[in-house]
Every structure is written in structure tokens, then in C-alpha cells.
């Protein structure tokens, strides 16, 4: 695996924040949309049957995942050919347009069918941009990190996402307490989504000051892996990302699950996502540090096994004792087990790719995992619960993903320099 042509000794915290901002906006927007899926459904997809309105809202959110592979192919490969920085600037501009535009779309009652059409177009644009964002930004963080701090640096991607989840949870809880249901339907959800757009100009300005970490190569470097060998590495990596994505999205569905399936009040249900963000915020840097010290595979295997054996009992407990305390306890336990592993998965997959295809390769793998599994998760959970009538359907869905992830983890090689015998830079 070839390294970057030039690599800074380290990045100031504000520049790491600028790189991770795209990931943060993605998760803030995702969680806020999930919080207010019912209200957004009523605004753009009015129906006499609430469940149909909710499914239409979730399906529209999922539409943005359709364009992620295209964005990964275009912008991710741009990161390998022209450099990480121009690719990150382009993706972030497009993200800003979509994030700012969605809360400004008038409701169906005002402009008719044009409202859902505009929402779908903005979701497609955002999906395209986010599909191309993760590859260049993750590659940049790895290449900018000291050799023995790669795990910690890339963990900042996940940490930014969980910080955004926490903020989204707190914003949602505050609005649910301060506003009436009618106000939430009319404009409260727009305020929540609009807050995510505030950081766009600041993060964009900081990204313009970043140094480039990669010199594009037109020809493969000597010793690069063959296509067949890279494919054997890519398939387990894709399976790990798919499992991690599904687990994360099930956890972030807990608010909708608690309110729509268990019947808990919104002010209590919204706290579940805040718990996801808080636990992730604490565990992400710990996961990165542990993986730098002990290697990637142990930090992936142990928590993931705990997650697999805990899912069904945790959901059973929640189903039979629904309430705020049990909801937060279950969400916290599952989030800690998941988060301690999933951040290290990103490091492992990124390290397995040679520099000349690192941005595009990781972007495409991540986009496929998100599009096929993440984009469908919320819709599938709502559909399965409605069709089967079984409130444990999300647990079985998550357990299946966890089993797939465990099988993939066993197959991947150790990539951490500490295990490979490399000396810290």
C-alpha cells in the first residue's frame, strides 16, 4: 500500500472539524429527518392514512441513496485524479445547496405536486454529493495522520457524526417541548433542518485552507495489489460497511420505533437518538485509540460479538417494559457495542486500499453499502412491523446484519501498523 506523497505532521482541531463537517451534516440531516418523518410526511405527502404518509416520507428520504454510487464514482475518483481537496470542496458545495434548500420548500398545500418533486430532487442532489464526500475526506484524514494515530484521526469522522446525532436529538427534544404539535407540523421541523445549514459557510471556508495530502498518479505504483486480490479484500470490507450501516440506522430509528410502534410520547422517544449520539461521542475516540494500540481486528471482534448476542434480549426487554428508562438503557447498550466496532471498520477498510484508488474505492464501497442497506433500513423496518405485526422485527433485521458483519470481520487481514510491525511516524 503506497502512502501519500506529502503528509502533514498533524492537523489542527479546526481543520479536522472542517474535513469531518460533511459527515456531521449528513447525520444531522438524517436524524432530524427521521425525528420529523411524520411531520414531513404530512407536509409533502398528505394522506388519510397516517402510515401511508410516513412510508412515503421515508421512501423519499431513501431516494437520496440512489445517487450515492454515482457521486462516489464521479467525485470519489476525482479525489484520486485531481486530489482530495478539490473533491472535498465540490462535494461540500453541493451538500450545502441541498441542506439549505429542503427546509425552504413550500408544503403540498401551497404548491401542490411541485413540493414532493422538489423534495425528491434535493434528496437526489444531496445523495450524489454525500456519495462523493466520504471517500476523499476519509482518505485525507488517514494520509494527514501520523502512522500510529490513523485510527484516532479517522475516528473523528464517526465522532463528528455522533456529535451531530446528539445535537439533533437535543434540538428535537427542545422543539417537542417548546412547540405544539400543530407548530411542529407547520414549521418546527423546518427550523430543525435549517440549523444544519448554519455550519456550511464556515466549514467551506476552512476547507479552502487545507493542504493537499495526495499527488495523483496516472499509472499504478510498483507493487500495487492485483485486481483480483483487491476484490478479495473489497468484498469483506463491503460486507462490514453494510453491517455497520444497517446497525447504525436501526439505532437511529429508535425514536420513530418508540413513538410509532411502542406508543411512547415524542418528548421521551426523542431522547433515544440523543442517547445514540452521546454514547457514540464517548466511544468513537476510544475505539480509534484502542485500534491504534491493539490492532483493528480485536477492537472489531469483541464489541461486535457482544452486539450480536445482546440485540434480541434488549428489544424483548423494551417490548415488555416500554418506558423512558428502558428505552435509554437498551439504546445505550446497543450503541456502545456497535460504536466501539464500526469506527474501526472505517479504518480497516481505508488502510486496505492503495493510495491511487483510496478515495474512489472507499467512496464506492461506502456508497453501495449505504444505498443498498442504509437507505432501505428505515422503510424496511416500518414495512416489516406493519406487515408482520411483530414489534421485534427490527431486532431480527439488526441481528441478521450483525451476523453478516461478524463473518466479514473474521475474513479481513490485520491492517494496523502496530500489528504489522511498522514503527510510528
CA-CA distance, 139 to 151, in Å (whole number)? 12
Quick check: is 68 in a domain?
yes
Q: How far apart are CA 55 and CA 190, in angstroms?
A: 19
Q: How far apart are CA 46 and CA 236, in angstroms?
A: 42
> What ranges make up the beta strands (E) of 184-331?
none
| pLDDT one digit per residue (tens) for the chain, 425 residues | 334 334 345 667 777 878 888 778 877 877 787 677 778 877 777 766 666 666 677 677 667 778 889 999 999 999 999 889 999 899 888 888 888 888 888 888 888 888 888 888 888 888 898 888 889 989 998 888 888 888 888 888 888 887 887 888 788 878 888 888 888 878 888 898 888 888 888 888 888 888 888 866 544 444 444 555 556 667 888 899 999 989 988 998 888 888 888 888 877 887 887 888 889 888 999 999 999 989 999 999 999 999 999 999 999 999 899 988 999 999 999 999 999 998 899 888 888 888 888 888 899 998 888 888 876 787 788 888 888 888 899 999 999 999 999 999 998 888 887 665 544 33
One-character DSSP codes across 364-397: HHHHHHIIIIIHHHHHHHHHHHHHH--TTHHHHH
259 Cβ contact partners less than 8 Å away, ≥ 6 residues apart: 38, 265, 266, 269
Closest by CA position to 241, among listed 328, 157, 128: 157
pLDDT at 3: 40
In a domain, 67, yes or no: yes
Q: Alpha-carbon distance 269 to 190, whole Å?
A: 19
In a domain, 1, yes or no: no
Distance CA 200, CA 195 (A): 10
Which three three-digit cell numbers place residue 419? 500489528
In a domain, 96, yes or no: yes
pLDDT at 425: 37
In a domain, residue 5? The reply is no
Domain containing residue 293? 13-212+226-416
CATH of the domain at 373: 1.20.1250.20
Place of cell 477498510: 349
Q: Residue 88 falls within a domain, yes or no?
A: yes
Q: Which residues of 135-174 are buried (b: 16+ CB within 10 A; e: fewer)?
A: bbbbbbbbbbbbbbbbbbbbbbbbbbbbbbbbbbbbbbbe
What is the C-alpha separation between 73 and 199, in angstroms, rounded? 26
CB-CB contact of 36 with 191 (8 Å) = no
Residue 8 lies in a domain: no
Dist. CA 366–CA 390, nearest whole Å? 31
**The pLDDT of residue 228:** 55
Cα–Cα distance, 390 to 409 (Å, whole number): 30
Number of domains present in the structure of the chain: 1
Residue 4 lies in a domain: no
Amino acid at each position: 500500500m503506497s502512502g501519500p506523497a506529502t503528509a502533514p505532521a498533524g492537523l489542527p482541531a479546526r481543520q479536522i472539524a472542517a474535513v469531518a463537517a460533511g459527515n456531521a451534516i449528513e447525520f444531522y440531516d438524517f436524524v432530524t429527518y427521521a425525528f420529523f418523518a411524520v411531520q414531513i410526511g404530512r407536509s409533502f405527502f398528505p394522506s388519510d392514512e397516517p402510515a401511508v404518509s410516513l412510508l412515503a416520507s421515508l421512501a423519499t428520504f431513501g431516494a437520496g441513496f440512489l445517487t450515492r454510487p454515482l457521486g462516489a464514482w464521479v467525485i470519489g475518483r476525482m479525489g484520486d485524479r485531481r486530489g482530495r481537496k478539490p473533491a472535498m470542496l465540490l462535494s461540500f458545495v453541493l451538500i450545502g445547496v441541498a441542506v439549505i434548500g429542503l427546509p425552504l420548500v413550500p408544503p403540498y398545500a401551497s404548491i401542490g405536486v411541485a413540493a414532493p418533486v422538489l423534495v425528491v430532487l434535493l434528496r437526489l442532489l444531496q445523495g450524489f454529493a454525500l456519495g462523493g464526500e466520504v471517500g476523499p475526506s476519509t482518505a485525507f484524514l488517514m494520509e494527514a495522520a501520523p502512522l500510529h494515530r490513523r485510527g484516532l484521526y479517522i475516528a473523528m469522522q464517526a465522532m463528528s457524526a455522533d456529535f451531530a446525532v446528539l445535537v439533533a436529538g437535543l434540538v428535537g427534544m427542545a422543539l417537542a417541548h417548546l412547540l405544539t404539535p400543530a407548530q411542529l407540523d407547520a414549521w418546527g421541523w423546518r427550523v430543525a433542518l435549517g440549523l444544519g445549514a448554519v455550519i456550511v459557510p464556515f466549514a467551506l471556508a476552512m476547507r479552502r485552507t487545507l493542504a493537499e495530502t495526495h499527488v495523483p498518479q496516472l499509472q499504478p505504483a510498483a507493487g500495487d495489489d492485483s485486481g483480483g486480490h483487491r476484490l478479495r479484500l473489497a468484498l469483506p470490507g463491503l460486507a462490514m460497511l453494510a453491517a455497520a450501516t444497517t446497525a447504525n440506522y436501526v439505532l437511529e430509528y429508535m425514536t420513530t420505533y418508540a413513538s410509532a410502534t411502542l406508543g411512547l410520547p415524542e418528548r421521551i422517544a426523542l431522547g433515544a437518538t440523543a442517547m445514540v449520539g452521546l454514547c457514540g461521542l464517548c466511544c468513537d475516540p476510544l475505539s480509534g485509540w484502542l485500534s491504534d494500540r491493539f490492532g483493528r481486528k480485536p477492537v472489531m471482534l469483541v464489541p461486535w460479538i457482544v452486539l450480536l448476542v445482546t440485540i434480541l434480549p434488549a428489544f424483548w426487554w423494551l417490548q415488555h417494559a416500554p418506558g423512558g428508562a428502558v428505552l435509554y438503557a437498551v439504546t445505550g447498550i446497543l450503541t456502545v457495542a456497535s460504536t466501539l466496532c464500526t469506527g474501526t471498520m472505517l479504518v480497516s477498510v481505508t488502510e486496505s486500499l492503495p493510495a491511487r484508488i483510496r478515495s474512489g474505492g472507499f467512496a464506492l464501497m461506502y456508497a453501495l453499502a449505504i444505498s443498498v442497506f442504509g437507505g432501505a433500513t428505515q422503510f424496511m423496518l416500518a414495512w416489516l412491523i406493519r406487515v408482520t405485526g411483530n414489534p421485534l422485527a427490527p431486532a431480527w433485521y439488526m441481528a441478521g446484519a450483525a451476523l453478516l458483519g461478524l463473518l466479514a470481520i473474521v475474513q479481513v487481514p490485520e491492517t494496523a501498523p502496530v500489528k504489522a510491525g511498522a514503527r510510528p511516524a
